[in-house]
Amino acid sequence: MIKLNHIDDGKSFDFGRISEDYAKFRDIYPPEFFSKIHQIGLCSEGNTVLDLGTGTGVLPRTLAKYGAKFIGADISEHQIARARQLSQGLNIEYVVSPAEEVDFPANTFDTVLACMCFTYFDKTKLMPRIHKMLKENGRFAIMSLVWLPKESEIAKRGEELVLEVNPDWNGVGYDRPKFTKEGIPESYKVDLSSGFTVDESCAFDVSIPFTREAWHGRMKATRGLAAASITEEQRAYFDKEHWKYLEQQPKIFEVLHSAVFCVLKKA
């Protein structure tokens, strides 16, 4: 279980309890997302890459084809167990550890990744540790892929229904990022004082197709619902009402997302 004061008013959550659904419904990254990672040169052949908050290993499993050696770390033993099952035959190692406690020798990694998880980390502990583990000119990529409820009525309605059963969920109302003068997305709250410079930063829209079942699963596999500390009755209410709404939608539809990249270089 994770409990953070700035997340959902301190309400605990645990993605480990939903590892199977997490693997099934949150592997939604489109080709454009992985192409951008490869285009930046973050996971090239011969590189050693650490993926923090790896979950069920979605990024390492998809990017392994480019030839990098991956190590994925996650605080949940259930997430890591599922990642190992799904990664058989691939050049990926996994460790169970909070991001702030991952410990490898200095100058180990060419790249460190953190996708959809940076907000959960203690940056004052994490950033110096990453700086130490990165090689000279190594890079730390912070990334996200979030639906845009102001652009999608389907996403907006899903958020409204989650809030009916979990009003403390603050993962709602996302909009395209605003950038600081250094080029950092404001929501990332990155402190460069640990010895980093901004190497590249960008955001772009991607439209992702979903079936009704896939979108229902994606909404359920959130911090605000299946991973949250709410009752089975509350989850059942969401299931019923969300399906009732989705039955009125096309069998396949698209939801607009914002992909955000902030790549820092070790100075």
- Residue 167 maps to a domain: no
For residue 252, give Cα distances in angstroms to 28, 94, 123, 128, 212: 14, 35, 39, 45, 7
- Residue 239 maps to a domain: no
65: CATH: 3.40.50.150
Residues in the chain with pLDDT < 70?
none
CA 9 – CA 90 distance, rounded (Å): 39
Tens of pLDDT along 216-230? 999 999 999 988 889
Longest dimension (CA), the chain: 55
- Residue 245 maps to a domain: no
- Residue 232 maps to a domain: no
* pLDDT of res. 97: 97
CA 207 – CA 197 distance, rounded (Å): 31
What's the total number of domains in the chain? Answer: 1
* pLDDT of res. 13: 87
* pLDDT of res. 14: 87
Give the residue numbers spanning the domain of 140.
Answer: 8-147+173-206+259-266
* pLDDT of res. 32: 94
- Residue 247 maps to a domain: no
* pLDDT of res. 117: 95
- Residue 254 maps to a domain: no
Closest alpha carbon to 94 in 42, 37, 29, 50? 50
Amino acid at 204: F
Mapped onto helix, strand or coil, the DSSP state of residue 51 is: strand
- Residue 77 maps to a domain: yes
Tell me how crowded residue 239 is: count the other CB atoms within 10 A of its CB.
15
3-state helix, strand, coil in the chain (%, to 5): 40, 25, 35
- Residue 102 maps to a domain: yes
* pLDDT of res. 56: 96
Tens of pLDDT along 159-194? 999 999 999 999 999 999 999 999 999 989 898 999
